[in-house]
Chains A and B, each alone.
Chain A
Amino acid sequence: MVKYLFILFVFSLPQACFLKSKNASTLSACLPSDEACLNNYQPKNSCDVEYSPEQANLRALTNEEIGNVISDVFNFDASDMIRELPRRDQGTKFQNAVLLSPLSESFLSKWQNTALSLATLLVEKPESIGRFTKLCEATQAGTADCASRMVKDLSRSLWRRPADTESEGRLVKLYTNGTEPAIDQKERMIRLIAALLIDPRFLYKFEYLRGPENESAALDSYEVAARLAFFIWRSNPDEILLDRAAKGEMVDPRVISEETNRMLEDTRAMRAFKQFVREWLLLDNLSNLQLVGSVSNFGALRELTYSRTRDVLFDGAGGINLALTGGGDVSQSLISQPAVIGGLSVGASTSPVKRGLFVNDRFLCRKIPPPPPNAGIFKAETIALDVTPRERFRVHEENAACASCHAAIDGIGLSLESFDVLGQKRSQYPNGKPIDTSGTIRLNGEVVAYNSAEEMIQLIGTSRDAESCFTGTMVEYAWGVQPGEENSCELGKISRSLVGRPHNWKSLVRTIVQHPSFITRARSQP
């Protein structure tokens, strides 16, 4: 049991293709093809190591999350404005990944102007700011008292906790500023909202120190509420969560469980799930597919995948296993979904390498290092038309440097050749040559053989490796950082607690939020 769990931790090691540690203390030091290394791998007993990585203590909101917050707090669709913000794709599996690099100047420059424009638009919409301004209409508009209550509410909604006294004072002063020529109510609101949006407490999710930096500590109620909201909704906590946080209830596991159940039934959970699926299955890549002569409706293809994952993976009893196997019907498997497999093409052709890499990375959590800079590329003009990819890929076997990684890629990719570029079954190549779909794959610590893509998909889908991988993926998504080997023991606990229950989104969410790491602020590494 323990052994296969560690398949999870084959993480990126750029040089792994060529440099192999003599003392294989981590599985990532084993090349995918090195059976002896894989078999002799001895995981460290790591249950005594701390879990919940330090990076989880702070991260910047993604563009999408900023849009979600604006939509949830102000009931305002700002997606057009958000789309124009500089993209911050860092090549991580999920966009919510924690990055210690601060927001770039180009992002802030654009955001500061966007925040001002947004504030200017919002003050014209009573449905957006009414619930905040009504505090001031009830009493006398412009008084420090009403301003202070409004600032408290607004800062709590946008910063995920009420402003500290000093900040509150500054914001009230900004709102009531008497030194300037009289400005109207709307202008006051514009300034207040813009200042709140430009503030780092909006753009970054902070978790505060509760003692020495090098000691882990319990999160406070507001921080737990924020973790929950960003995990389940990818947005700020709502009023209910904030109210409970204000009472200090959110650190109670029973309250967390109660709130989790409520949140999972909210439409915001499905919105977040869709964003998760889009990133996890690389659905944006579909736009690269070129089908000459037809304009495909990529949006409709993506919707098919969303609806399939919603039925099976969101709260379906089959969970990740059924999502992968398709219940014996390969056309229902995530692997052959047009929106998934379609993005794994080169131009208008299938790409066994991309498909092999994708299955390794996304469904088995096996990271394959990138090819060395001097790796050859097949030249279009040198590819004879009557040569199949399998024949072409013999080159990989002949060269040890290639074989070390391609052994794990090609077998899967070549078997999947029985699906065309959009995942339709085919038995031969366009040139009439038959497709050989047989191969072997290492699953649950053993090498198993298969004759067809269907068989391979069944083997993968029913493997514990795939289950563990999905657990690890969900934890990575929850933490915003890849679990490292030091977290393996805890991951094992999470996975074991699900034995007999489906590995689906909802059950994993419920399990992960109950794990001690979810309410702990990790210590800072020196």
Chain B
Amino acid sequence: MKLPSNRRAFLKGAGSITIGLPLTSFGADVLLPHRIYGVEQAPVAQRLVTFSFPNGCDGMFWNYDSILSPLKDFASNLIVLKGIKNPITEVVNIDAHQQGGAALFTGVRLRDEQSNTGISIDQWVSNRINASTFMSRSLVLGVWRAFAGPAFRSPSWYHRSWLENGAPVPALIRPTEIFAAVFGEFSADEKVRNEKIRQRRSILDTVIEQMSSLKSDRSPLSSKHRSLLSDHLDKVRALELKAIELESRIDPVNCRPIGYLPPPVNLGDDGLLGYEHFERVFYLQMDLMVMALQCDATRTGSLMFGSGGEEYMNLGISKKYSDHRTSHYDNEETLNTYLDFRRFHMQNFRYLLTKLKDANILDTTTVVMGSEFGDGRSHAPSPMPHIIAGGGGKLLMGQTLDLPQHTLCDVYASVLTGMGFSAPTFGETMFNTGLINQLFKPS
């Protein structure tokens, strides 16, 4: 991949490109957005990001006087949720890190086969509002080793974003890889870019045109297969035109570059990221997430710091204990370290909120933050710590609510409803008790 030597110059240049190349088989209007994406869509300003940290937080510390102190400045943009029930993990005899983590943001039980659970809220929203963005999909990022107590764990432990068919979406780790995923293989060189556009267009023209015989009346295909083929070609055409457009368009006004290229981060011999790199890489990931949202490369994302049960070590916090170990705190020393780790996660969250605010998109972005369970000593699934942050749409921000009668499914359904979607329930119906009225602005 060729990265621009100077991102600012690259973005500036990219904005001025026009598409002046002839399309042999289509008129110019194919490049109008609604033709490219196949849908007429009113501009949607809403964005949704999920944010998770590992090993939970005991409900008694889930307040501004204790571990949420780093978030005080943002109180007017937050809803702190206490007492949220996780009835899903309560009924399933399976590790609470694993089951709680799979239920977090999905509201669905972990199925046995293939670690399947249901669709996560970021993907659910992505399906509805990402069609016209560059990436057309949720940006799933995270740092994780999935080493917990003490064994490497199966995929259901380290995924916080799930597709509709229950397939986990792996979190991208390396910033360079993320940059490529967000912006494609851009080149700062206009000539190179134009050549790539020509290349894609020439391939596309061929693929589309040579299909005429298969689609015509003298096609050797049955009517069913002809219609399948038509559908296939419509998609190919739309996707290729989008790729071409992606190569040639970026909005330099709203899309402010971070001013530097993401530095390379090497994974260890085991193919995993070392704990010593977690903090730095996670900050880079948050930078890239905000940049992607700002540039409208995507409108949804997922940020995960560590898998469930992650034995994350941070020498600045403790030379002795891992994050997971302290969640089983049993004396003053381990309790204090536990709280230090919790505050560390809240500092990270604060950084994300700050970046969103600086980018001027905090009020139009909803962030749902949480962890796989509450009290780490018992690994009790409930109450499950959650915070809703950002604009929240129709939600009334700036409050703290204790809601022992509501479940995590209710939280997600309410967040989506707050964003303007029709979502009376989310996740497994049997675990929904109803939208949370107190969350909404009085009408």
Q: Mark A49-79, 1 if CB is under 8 A from B, else 0.
A: 0000000011000000000000000000000
Given A57-B225, A108-B239, A284-B114, A167:B94 Cβ within 8 A: no
Q: Mark B68-97, 1 if CB is under 8 A from A, else 0.
A: 000000000000000000000011111100
Minimal beta-carbon separation of A164 from chain B (angstroms): 6
Among B167-200, those with CB < 8 Å from A are 167, 198-200
Residues of chain B contacted by A292 (CB below 8 angstroms): 149, 151
Is the Cβ of B206 less than 8 Å from the Cβ of A173? yes
CA distance A89 to B200 in the complex (A): 30
Is the Cβ of A113 less than 8 Å from the Cβ of B243? yes
The residue that A209 contacts in the complex, of B154, B209, B220, with Cβ under 8 A, is B220
Is the Cβ of B94 less than 8 Å from the Cβ of A198? no
CA distance A331 to B155 in the complex (A): 29
Minimal beta-carbon separation of B389 from chain A (angstroms): 28
Given A195-B203, A287-B155, A346-B112, A57:B239 Cβ within 8 A: no
The residue that A354 contacts in the complex, of B95, B112, B210, B223, with Cβ under 8 A, is B112
Instruction: Return the chain A residue nearest B220 by Cβ.
Output: A208
Q: Is B165 an interface residue (CB 8 A)?
A: yes
Given A209-B220, A290-B95, A346-B112, A164:B213 Cβ within 8 A: yes
Is the Cβ of A285 less than 8 Å from the Cβ of B114? yes
Is the Cβ of B114 less than 8 Å from the Cβ of A200? no
Is the Cβ of B202 less than 8 Å from the Cβ of A116? no
Is the Cβ of B222 less than 8 Å from the Cβ of A209? yes
Given A89-B114, A198-B207, A282-B113, A290:B153 Cβ within 8 A: yes
Q: Is A177 an interface residue (CB 8 A)?
A: yes
Among A286-318, those with CB < 8 Å from B are 287-295
Q: Is B115 an interface residue (CB 8 A)?
A: yes
Residues of chain B contacted by A194 (CB below 8 angstroms): 203
Is the Cβ of A378 less than 8 Å from the Cβ of B239? no
**Contacting chain B: which of A38-46, A98-106, A319-327, A427-435?**
A98-106
Q: Is B280 an interface residue (CB 8 A)?
A: no
Q: Is A187 an interface residue (CB 8 A)?
A: yes
Instruction: Return the chain A residue nearest B95 by Cβ.
Output: A347
CA distance A462 to B155 in the complex (A): 38
CA distance A343 to B380 in the complex (A): 26
Given A200-B232, A200-B233, A373-B430, A208:B221 Cβ within 8 A: yes
Q: Is B316 an interface residue (CB 8 A)?
A: no
Q: Mark A200-221, 1 if CB is under 8 A from B, else 0.
A: 1101101011000100000000
Minimal beta-carbon separation of A397 from chain B (angstroms): 21
Q: Mark A162-192, 1 if CB is under 8 A from B, else 0.
A: 0110110011011001001000000100110
Is the Cβ of B93 less than 8 Å from the Cβ of A378? yes
Given A285-B114, A379-B93, A524-B222, A112:B206 Cβ within 8 A: no
Given A57-B225, A102-B231, A174:B94 Cβ within 8 A: no
Q: Is B212 an interface residue (CB 8 A)?
A: yes
Instruction: Return the chain A residue nearest B89 by Cβ.
Output: A380
Is the Cβ of B213 less than 8 Å from the Cβ of A166? yes
Is the Cβ of A347 less than 8 Å from the Cβ of B94? yes
Is the Cβ of B203 less than 8 Å from the Cβ of A293? no
Is the Cβ of B137 less than 8 Å from the Cβ of A180? no
Among B207-254, those with CB < 8 Å from A are 207, 209-214, 220-225, 228-229, 231-233, 235-236, 238-240, 243
Is the Cβ of B91 less than 8 Å from the Cβ of A377? yes
CA distance A204 to B231 in the complex (A): 13
Is the Cβ of B94 less than 8 Å from the Cβ of A191? no
Residues of chain B contacted by A294 (CB below 8 angstroms): 151
Interface centre among B112, B152, B199, B222 (most CB of A within 10 A): B222
Is the Cβ of A213 less than 8 Å from the Cβ of B223? yes
Is the Cβ of A58 less than 8 Å from the Cβ of B136? no
Is the Cβ of A288 less than 8 Å from the Cβ of B115? yes
Instruction: Return the chain B residue nearest A353 by Cβ.
Output: B112
Residues of chain A contacted by B225 (CB below 8 angstroms): 57-58, 206
Is the Cβ of B228 less than 8 Å from the Cβ of A102? yes
Among A234-287, those with CB < 8 Å from B are 282, 284-285, 287
Residues of chain B contacted by A400 (CB below 8 angstroms): none
Given A108-B235, A108-B236, A209:B93 Cβ within 8 A: no
Minimal beta-carbon separation of A41 from chain B (angstroms): 30
Is the Cβ of B210 less than 8 Å from the Cβ of A288? no
Q: Mark B298-340, 1 if CB is under 8 A from A, else 0.
A: 0000000000000000000000000000000000000000000
Is the Cβ of B151 less than 8 Å from the Cβ of A291? yes
CA distance A167 to B94 in the complex (A): 56
CA distance A177 to B198 in the complex (A): 12
Residues of chain B contacted by A171 (CB below 8 angstroms): 206, 210
Q: Is A199 an interface residue (CB 8 A)?
A: yes
Q: Is B156 an interface residue (CB 8 A)?
A: yes
Is the Cβ of A198 less than 8 Å from the Cβ of B151? no
Among B240-284, those with CB < 8 Å from A are 240, 243
Is the Cβ of B199 less than 8 Å from the Cβ of A190? yes
Minimal beta-carbon separation of B205 from chain A (angstroms): 8
Given A346-B112, A377-B92, A105:B222 Cβ within 8 A: no
Given A195-B207, A199-B207, A295:B152 Cβ within 8 A: yes
Is the Cβ of B114 less than 8 Å from the Cβ of A213? no
Is the Cβ of B229 less than 8 Å from the Cβ of A290? no
Instruction: Return the chain A residue nearest B110 by Cβ.
Output: A288
CA distance A155 to B203 in the complex (A): 15
Residues of chain B contacted by A106 (CB below 8 angstroms): 136-137
CA distance A238 to B440 in the complex (A): 64
Residues of chain B contacted by A213 (CB below 8 angstroms): 222-223
18 residue pairs A–B, Cβ–Cβ below 8 Å: A102-B231, A106-B137, A113-B243, A167-B210, A170-B206, A191-B202, A195-B207, A198-B203, A206-B221, A206-B225, A209-B220, A209-B221, A213-B222, A282-B113, A288-B114, A373-B430, A380-B93, A383-B93
Q: Which 6 pairs of residues, A with B, have the shortest CB-CB distance?
A: A208-B220, A380-B93, A170-B210, A167-B210, A174-B206, A195-B206
Given A102-B228, A102-B231, A201-B214, 5 additional A-B pairs, CB 8 A: A105-B136, A108-B232, A190-B199, A291-B151, A524-B223
